[in-house]
Structure 1
Amino acid sequence: MTVTALRNIGPKSAAWLRQVGLRSAEDLKAAGAVDAFMRIRRAGFRPSLNLLYSLEGALVDCHWQEIPEHRRQELVQAVEAASALLPAPRGRPAAAPVTTTHREHEDSAPSLDFFDSPDRED
């Protein structure tokens, strides 16, 4: 059975699942809701928690809104734990402490002679 035939899985969710290698109900069952959700996140998509609940609902064959609150909390905690293990996003430096520099004397201000020079051509 393909993922498109599963309850709660619409075209966009099915496309994301296919793109991360989860093409069948068996693939999704083997991965589980949390791993499937994390694969989608790691692939660069930005799924909401509703997808997580939808994946769980697909696995237990119920509407995603019927997932009990305690189970939703377990799923979110599992995603948070898995997210903490991910490396920092590429292209963004790790945050560093912020420092502020104050000039105490006017003498330390940079010279503006270059900008005021009458010999300068614009």
Structure 2
Amino acid sequence: MTEPLKMRNIGPKSAAWLRQVGLRTEADLVAVGAVEAFMRVRRAGFKPSLNMLYALEGALQDCHWQDVPEARRAELVAAVEAATAELPPPRGRPAAAPVTTTHHQDEGAMPAPELLDRPGGDD
């Protein structure tokens, strides 16, 4: 059996997200790298921050995420931006219809006064 993902910088929430996108072990993470792991999490609908990207890189380099050099952070961000640009555009979903409130009356209750004044309101 392979060891579950327990690496530096990878907390419970990040580990759960990674598991949900099929990255369950350190070997899985090493195989895809920080950018692809981050993109898988993003494509799955989660909203990872750039701190997660840096944490993934720090985990792979065995250093604290804040110790990832600024130049490497810029490379990672550029790679994520390039990968994001390659994604298909979001599916066009129609805007939700306006929300309306429906009031139901108890049987035998009197209709609201505004309904009595309308034609057909007192049937």
TM-score range, shorter chain: 0.7 to 0.9
Q: How big is the shift at 1:18?
A: 0.2
Match of 1:27 in 2: 28
Return the letter of the residue paired with 2:54.
Y
Quote the Cα distance in structure 1 between the aligned partners of 2:35 and 2:19: 16
Q: How big is the shift at 1:89?
A: 1.3
Quote the Cα distance in structure 2 between the aligned partners of 1:73 and 1:21: 26
In the TM superposition, what are the counterparts of 1:32-71 in structure 2 within 5 Å? 32-71=33-72
Q: How big is the shift at 1:87?
A: 0.8
Quote the Cα distance in structure 2 between the aligned partners of 1:22 and 1:42: 14
Match of 2:110 in 1: none
| Gaps in structure 1 of 5+ consecutive residues | 94-120
1:7-66 alpha-carbon deviations (Å, 9 max, x no partner)? 000000000000000000000000000000000000000000000000000000000000
Match of 1:79 in 2: 80
| Gaps in structure 2 of 5+ consecutive residues | 95-118
1:72-116 alpha-carbon deviations (Å, 9 max, x no partner)? 0000000000000001112347xxxxxxxxxxxxxxxxxxxxxxx
Relative to the length of structure 1, the TM-score reads 0.73
Q: How big is the shift at 1:2?
A: 2.1
Quote the Cα distance in structure 1 between the aligned partners of 2:55 and 2:77: 13
Quote the Cα distance in structure 1 between the aligned partners of 2:57 and 2:51: 10
Return the letter of the residue paired with 1:2.
P
Match of 2:16 in 1: 15
Relative to the length of structure 2, the TM-score reads 0.73
Q: How many residues align?
A: 95
Match of 1:2 in 2: 4
Quote the Cα distance in structure 1 between the aligned partners of 2:13 and 2:46: 11
Aligned-pair identity in percent equals 72
Quote the Cα distance in structure 2 between the aligned partners of 1:91 and 1:12: 30
